[in-house]
Structure 1
Amino acid sequence: MPLRTPRRIGTRVGRRIGTLRTAAAAALLALGATLLAPGAMAAHAADPTTDYCGGQCSDILPPGENGNATLADILANKAFGTRPAHTTDQLGPYSSLATGYQNLTDATLSNFFNSSSFGVPSNQVASVVSPRSDVTITRDKATGVPHIKGTTRDGTEFGAGYAAAQDRLWLMDLFRHVGRGELSSFAGGAAANRGLEQEFWQQAPYTEADLQAQVDWLSNNSGDRGRQALADAQDYIDGINAYITAAKSGRYFPGEYDLTGHVNAITNAGDIEPFQLTDLIALASVIGALFGTGGGGEVQSALSLLAAQQKYGVQDGTNVWESFRERDDPEATSTVHDGSSFPYAGKPASAQGEALPDPGSVVPEPLVYDATGGATQSTTKSPGVLPSNMFSDPRKGMSNALVVSGAHTASGHPVAVFGPQTGYFAPQLLMLQELQGPGISARGASFAGLGMYVELGRGQDYAWSATSASQDVTDTYAVQLCQDDTHYILHGSCVPMEKLERTNSWTPTLADSTPAGSYRMQVWRTAYGPVIYRATVGGKPVAYTQLRSSYMHEADSIIGFQELNDPGFVHDAASFQKAAQDINYTFNWFYADSRQTAYYNSGTNPVRAAGVDASFPVWGTGAYDWQGWDPTHNTATYTPPSQHPQSVDQDYYISWNNKQAPGYTSAGFGNGSVHRADLLEDRVKALVQAGGVTRASLVKAMSSASLTDLRGEDVLPELLQVIKSAPVTDSQEAAAVQQLTTWLADGTKRTETSAGSHTYADADAVRTMDAWWPLLVQGEFQTGLGTDLYNALAADLTIDESPSAGHGPTGSHAGSSFQYGWWSYVDKDLRKVLGQSVQGPLAHTYCGGGQLSACRNILLSTLKQAAATPATTVYPGDDGGCAAGDQWCADSIVQRPLGGITDDRISWQNRPTYQQVVEFPSHR
């Protein structure tokens, strides 16, 4: 549902209600008082389950567990600012860590995290419901998290589905429609809704038959666990549908259904469509596209290579491009640092089958046709129910992990602080739950609608988490056309492309006034995946297609998650790694129990044909297919588990979407000498060297990194070294240099002077850096590279990703920052100018042509320009409530509303959305 900002939706609802007949309006308001949750059974604690964490496991997931609100709740929120219970109660503790971490102790962790112990103490039980006789759902007073305990396995899963619908029904409904490319028909024609469904459907244009085929594949090809997974999923769906029936009858379903016209607010007429198994495939495809893919972008890489060769000639241009690509940079921080290497997707000695486009010939494949009415209006700022760039933005690096072996902790047991950075929404994409039943024992977070199992959390005596890995499992093929533009050659035969279409239409609702309209999406699909570009290669027309290894296999990962939840399967590091091997999405998995730590990189990594360079398009002629590729089912030969980056009991692990291991080629640009993972690496390494690591000290290291400006900590020292190579005589330049020097001494933090001050310490230095970075990068590189190559490389890797910039999968106010930028390029270039040793240097020296004095002049002139730039220009304000010049607000995190309830913004901190802190003192 395309809900507006808080003020606007309140106005809209009020205005629309005011147009109703007086009697109807009165009936609606009277009805609001009856839209309450169903009555609960008498509160009794769930039966205790063996928990080996001894009260030393904690977690947090802002803003709160409750993600459902009736129409009355939504109207009250708009009118009076009230919120349903447990809607926002985890936001305050989460936010306050930014100013409270410095004096943190193990004893005060509970001020910032909630207990994630199993069960609910009898004096903390808020409610108990039993949607059927073989399961209870106990909710605790503190957070409202559902603790689901079944006497049968199917009852446990039924309860999980029922609880998921209680907490996330509207969000689940949104995502099953996104997964089918029909969000605008369901939630309104806002431009953002259309943009999102277009981007997703072009990547995964599944038909209903495709979705069912994936269910059938799991049933027929995954053995007993696959069949059990489908049975669990069906029980889960039955629980969702039972809640829908009860909530519809009792009129306590989410009020967004009223506001979008699916249910009549007066008469209760209308339907909430029941869920089915194929909905879970659609949901899984959305989550997989957001967090579990990697690669692609080969056409853009080809364009920047061609620009480099145009500038420098073929040989030197290729060397220049490779130096910016940093495929296997020797200075990059790797998660595995024990001396082992895991070669994958590297540069071949002699590339075979490359299909580089002719310059100027690349044209994106059109998607939208036959637009009418509201679809033709220019409404680019129209907000939707989900960010319109969740899939199109290539910067999907998220989540971090800090894990320390027991050999270096105070207790002798491993300590872990980890979690996924999934963006900030209200309600969150994740939800918390505890599942206890035959063959299932876990507590943690699951993506809404996929909560058959806990996906990130803890078992009885172990915990696990993940970060997005994004290794290269997606390739671009150039298919030769024959007969016309819709036929291509497949293994020697001229065959037709498959034409896939989706027509969406909508009418205005209480929540969205976008005029009635419709449009048609069209994708041409080949055996090598959907067509994404048209071009010529050597003068011959081709279609560029995109194929990923998990395409048509969105549900396969359910086996690994099932195993992670099974206490009979996971009992040590080796069994954990085996479970992670059964997850086909690209994730870095981390594990800790009382004795061991472990790491494993998951994903179905295709074995490419000899000589194929994964960074560029290749010919789809058969000779360069993935080895063992079956186009009917999109299966292939994959690298064996032994070739995936992995480790057990390394002294420590850190991950912030950085390089996994030496030899493991990054899927895209940006893994070089400076990476945001360095903020964790430096702090955790120092803790390990000192010894005696505790939960509190590891949280402090994470929090310190989360508030630090990467450019300040890791590049500013070199910038100042160049500038201070001679006296600074200009008074304005000298003042700016002094501000930055002071900020560097203070730790280059972006943090409030005190809690709630909404004013940064070293505010002028932060403002200057924000204004300076894009200026200095342009001044340093554009002249040497030339405008065309500079712009082409900037399309491969964005120049900057500061907290105040619009970036990442949720746009501005997203928290996640400094994942991608030219930090490494600036670092390597300046060190070369300074005469320092550089491993894996850029092919040329750019700043001032390599002359120290000329480079210094560039830095000083751009610094002077930046220092003179007013805050109102650096932070121009936005339509989300930030005034021009408000530095704190520009950085702040917003829980983007995915429904009718809104939450307060919080101070910026670059940390996981859901986060665990664990230290197990004992083991089974």
Structure 2
Amino acid sequence: MKQIDRTATTQPRPKKRRSWRSRLLRYALFLVSLLVILVLLAGAFGVAWFGYRPLPQTSGSIQLPGLSGEVKVVRDSNGTPHISATTADDMFIAQGYVTAQDRLFQLDFFRRVGAGRLSEVLGSAAINQDRFLRTIGLRRAAEAEMPSLGAEDLKILEDYSKGINLFIDTHKDNLPIEFNLLGYVPEPWTPLDSVSWGKYMAYDLSGNYTREILRAALVDKLGADKAAFLLPTDPADNTPLIVPQGANYAGMDKALALVDLQAEVSAIAGSDPASQGSNNWVVSGAKTTTGKPMVANDPHLGIRNPSIWYEVGLQAPGWDVAGVTFPGVPGVVIGHNERIAWGVTNVGGDTQDLYMEKVNPANPDQYEFQGSWQNMQVIPEEIKIKGKPSQTINVRITRHGPIMNDVTSTLDGSQPMALQWTALKNAPLIGSVLDYDRASNWTEFRTALRGFNSPAQNFVYADVDGNIGYQVPGLWPVRAKGDGLLPVPGWTGEYEWTGYASFDELPSAYNPSTNFIATANNRPVPANFSQKFTLGEEFDPGWRAARITQLLTAKDKLSLQDLTAIQNDVISLPGREIGAAFANLSDSDARTGNAVKRLKNWDGSMAANSVPAALYKVAFQDLIEDMFKDKLGDVYGQYLDEPRFYIPLVLKLLKDPTNEWWGAGGRDALLQKALGQAVDSLGSKFGGNMDDWRWGRLHTLSFSHTPLGPALPFPLTLVLNQRTLERSGDGQTVAASSYDYGDTGFVQTSGQSFRTVMNLANFDDSVIVNTLGQSGQPFSKHWGDNIDDWNNGRYHQFLFTTNAVSTKTEDTLTLHP
């Protein structure tokens, strides 16, 4: 056989050459893939380390030194802890511990607000807020109040503090994400921190002095008569404004800088003082389907993330109470025990006065009083600033209070003004809360409220025996002279506070013949209620109260579902009336005719999907600008924050079509102009299809993290901020959702911070809903799990008894010595 020479017949194959481009592309793809994998791994590690790792242990057992016995913490399906202990000491240690588990950063942040120590962690961006807070002196007032605490109250505060600190001490390397972002570890909690919380809430719910400044600036600009007209205390009676003798308000517009500073403090703390309010009502068994009373409450506060409220149940010998409290405050602020229930709204009364002081030209630390120079108390306040040298300010305090001008250089050379305010006095609060938590009847409840000094609130009450009641507590100054509406001369001694009204002189009611009591920050009693003292002259105009009363009297018998429906009502009574004025314009105008047609027969519903609601709101704000902006000049911005004054004023002016404030063309011409402006702006924003001009597209709510949300970079915005909602309602609807038009347009800034209806026929049939949820930790399943229910008018069961809690138990944690 012939041999085949394979080497001769087989040609070698040429090598395939990979181009440098191909090699480079493959290498680049490999690097990108590797980078993506590393980024994903790093992200997963970061989420696990900073997000999931700090989540608290809510089941099993934890040893807590200092306990005397075992404590059970049963968390229900909403994450609410129900604490049961064999001693009150252990119960409050446990309450402090579980509050820190869920809300540690919130605890520390609001402690810093109360103390004016924000710059230490937020840097120089917060220096103005700290200067303001150190000057006003919430922390100093709390320190001065500590010696007046009763022994039992102090022991409870110490136990609560111990629980918070036990959590801090065992989690310093495992803190919530905010501490890692800001790079610090929280200090130990003290009883003083809890007392400071009460002072902060008094600050959050007060604001009369800023209206004194606005009113004085209007007097300077337009005269007393027009100032009274623009800020009516009662639009129906044209009450004249009495300018105190010797007062000179020249240049008072500069003092509006104090109003701006207060707004900055409120903004960083998630508050909106211009729109604070609340609803509460109690209905006797004679008007309910159960034959027992029901209590409804929905406090209107700044919308914060996390919620300002923390749900809790507490059981120990002598204690059986459930409801909500502020993180940092032991016990329950609003809720019920086994015998009574209560709800709270802000009175909105006048417990602040500004005193113009005469300072010695030869000594800036002296002021005149009744013909002689008095030494001011001068307190140096060192403000530490992250990454920068500290600043020290000297707070000057007269017999009336701190001189507020020193907080800003804008007021250098201006008339010095000192703030006198009940919350800066010896005004204990925490003992009252702890006492009414254990009250069993009306007499004990009122006795407890004798110690509720500031902020002054409207309390409604019910008990299982069928009784209902109402009480205003608080320190109400008796003025030697003046009505508290304007800054007064401090040097004469004529306008001093001579004391306080006695508790028994304050408004109260028990088992009224109407079978219900409702409050909504409206005037609680007639203006001539007392010749000795006044509750104030700047109350809510009363539309929410009127609407609540309409709905409570619409049926002979009311169910729990009826009361929750009232809480979610979005009919605006002033909107209905002002909308009708726009609807009465001609519908033949090419520019506004369709808008007029939409407004005809509108019932005032501020539903998120309502087109007439959007037309009314935008046209009304344009109308306010057309009427007042040019005339008020620099004062207009602050006036815009006071709808409680200009809405009733416009309603009054609608009945006077030729009044000078309408301008040369009269009422209808200005209404036509404003509606045209609204049509143009809505069309520009949402397009030519009027069906798309829904109120909710303008009136949104974003649950931005308090306080970091506005400054967060992407992707941390996805971690700490919650989603944006389209909202129904406004500041005049029962389901309040207010906005600060001058700063944020129609974006909601405050509203129903939680809602509850308590059923005294069976407490376990009560309902409640918080704004966001129990947890302040972004990766918890109870962070934001209430949002949909809260937004859509739904509730969850407000569990109370051990048997009821056992049916909805999610986790059980045992704390032991």
Whether TM-score is above 0.5 comes out as: yes
Instruction: Write the deviation string for residues 677-701 of structure 1: whole angstroms up to 9, x where unpaired.
Output: 433333233x3xx311111012112
Whether 1:697 aligns to 2:562 is yes
Contact 1:733 1:863 in 2 (8 A): yes
Selected match of 1:244 from 150, 159, 168: 168
Is 1:639 aligned to 2:501, yes or no? Answer: yes
Please state how far the C-alpha of 1:465 moved relative to its aligned partner: 1.6
Secondary structure, counterpart of 1:472 in structure 2:
coil
Note if 1:326 corresponds to 2:189: no
Q: 1:504 to 1:161 in 2, by over 3 A?
A: same
Are 1:847 and 2:662 counterparts?
Answer: yes
* Residues 53 and 174, structure 2, Cα contact 8 Å, conserved in 1: no
Matches within 5 A, 1:359-370: 359-360=250-251, 363-364=254-255
Give CA-to-partner distance per residue, 1:649-708, whole Å, 9 cap, x none: 332233332222211667465644x634433333233x3xx3111110121122123xx4
Q: Which of 286, 289, 297 is residue 200 of structure 2 equivalent to?
A: 286
Q: 2:190 aligns with which of 259, 263, 276?
A: 276
What is the one-letter code of the residue matched to 1:147? H
Aligned positions of 1:440-459 closer than 5 A: 440-450=319-329, 452-459=330-337
1:432 and 1:331 map into 2 onto residues whose CA distance is: 44
CA contact (8 A) 2:281 2:295 kept: yes
Mapped to 1, the partners of 2:276 and 2:605 lie a distance apart of 23
1:883-922 superposed matches below 5 A:
888-898=696-706, 901-909=720-728, 910=736, 912-921=752-761
- The Cα offsets for residues 745-771 of structure 1, whole Å up to 9 and x where unpaired, read as 4x42322xxxxxxxx2x33x3332232
Q: Is the 8 A contact 1:136 1:148 kept in 2?
A: yes
The equivalent position to 2:85 in structure 1, one of 123, 142, 150, is 150
Pairing 1:215–2:215 present: no
CA apart distance, 1:445: 0.7
Mapped partners of 1:384, 1:778: distance in 2: 23
Change (3 A) 1:590 1:748: same
1: CA distance, partners of 2:177 / 2:201: 25
TM-superposed CA distance for 1:797, in Å, is: 5.7
User: Which residue of 450, 459, 462 corresponds with 2:340?
Assistant: 462
Residue among 299, 318, 330 paired with 1:420? 299
Q: Report whether the alignment pairs 1:254 with 2:176.
A: yes
User: Alpha-carbon deviations, 1:343-396, whole Å to 9, x = none?
Assistant: xxx989x87x545224236644999xxxxxxxxxxxx9xx999833757x6415
Rounded to whole Å, the distance in 2 between the matches of 1:867 and 1:257 is 47
C-alpha distance 195-711 of structure 1, shift in aligned 2 (>3 A): farther
Distance 1:885 1:860 in 2: 19
Q: Sequence identity of aligned pairs in percent?
A: 20
Q: Hey, what's the Cα distance between the residues in 2 that align with 1:227 and 1:666?
A: 32
Matches within 5 A, 1:671-710: 671-672=540-541, 675-685=543-553, 687=554, 690-705=555-570, 708-709=571-572
**Secondary structure in structure 2 of the residue aligned to 1:401:** strand
**Which of 456, 460, 471 in structure 2 is aligned with 1:600?**
471
The 3 A distance-change label for structure 1 pair 31 and 702 is closer
Q: Does 2:417 correspond to 1:495?
A: no
Quick one: which amino acid aligns to residue 468 of structure 1? N
Distance change in 2, residues 1:541/1:426 (3 Å): closer
Q: Is it true that 1:529 corresponds to 2:435 in the alignment?
A: no
- 1:173 aligned residue: 108
Task: Choose the corresponding residue for 2:123, options 173, 186, 189.
Answer: 189
TM-score when normalising by structure 2: 0.73
Kindly report which structure 2 residues correspond to 1:576-655, keeping only aligned pairs within 5 A, or say none: 576-584=445-453, 585-594=455-464, 595-609=466-480, 611-621=481-491, 623-628=493-498, 637-650=499-512, 651=514, 652-655=516-519
Q: Cα gap change, 1:141/1:356 in structure 2, threshold over 3 Å: closer, same or farther?
A: same
Distance 1:230 1:795, change over 3 A: same
The two structures have a TM-score, normalised by structure 1, of: 0.65
What residue is the counterpart of 1:560 in the other structure? 432
Q: Look up the match of 1:729.
A: 588
Deviations 1:405-432 (A, max 9, x none): 2222222222222132233223212211
Q: Which residue of 2 aligns with 1:375?
A: none
Q: Is the contact made by 2:402 and 2:418 (CA closer than 8 Å) also made in structure 1?
A: yes
Query: Equivalent of 2:599, from 718, 737, 740?
Result: 740
638, 653, 657: which one aligns with 1:795: 638
C-alpha change, 1:733 and 1:31, in structure 2 (3 Å) is: closer
Contact 2:131 2:393 in 1 (8 A): yes
Judging changes above 3 Å, is the alpha-carbon distance between structure 1 residues 791 and 873 closer, same or farther for their aligned structure 2 residues? Answer: farther
2:213–2:486 Cα contact (<8 Å) kept: yes
> Corresponding residue for 1:222?
none
Instruction: Provide Cα deviations, 1:206-247, integer angstroms capped at 9, x if missing partner.
Output: 45xx643321133xxxxxxx2210111011111111111222
User: Retained in 2: the 8 A contact 1:195–1:389?
Assistant: no
Q: Which residue matches 1:549?
A: 422
Rounded to whole Å, the distance in 1 between the matches of 2:119 and 2:398 is 26
* Larger radius of gyration between Structure 1 and Structure 2: 2
1:49-85 CA deviation, whole Å, 9 max, x = no partner? xxxxxxxxxxxxxxxxxxxxx54468xxxxxxxxx69
Task: Find the residue that maps to 1:387 and give its secondary structure.
Answer: helix
Contact 2:587 2:597 (8 Å CA) reproduced:
no
Contact 2:579 2:616 in 1 (8 A): no
Q: Check conservation: 1:305, 1:321, Cα contact below 8 A.
A: yes
CA contact (8 A) 1:135 1:148 kept: no
What are the residue-to-residue correspondences of 1:506-525 with 2, within 5 Å? 506-507=386-387, 521-525=393-397
SS in 2 for 1:453: coil
CA distance in 1, matches of 2:539, 2:662: 19
Q: Which has the higher helix share?
A: 2
CA contact (8 A) 2:207 2:273 kept: no
Q: Say which of 417, 433, 440 aligns to 1:571.
A: 440
Whether 1:234 and 2:113 are equivalent positions in the alignment is no
Cα distance in 2 for partners of 1:741, 1:85 equals: 55
Unaligned runs of 5+ in 2: 1-33, 709-718, 729-735, 737-750, 764-817
Distance change >3 Å, CA 361–CA 750, structure 1 → 2: closer
Contact 2:331 2:434 in 1 (8 A): yes
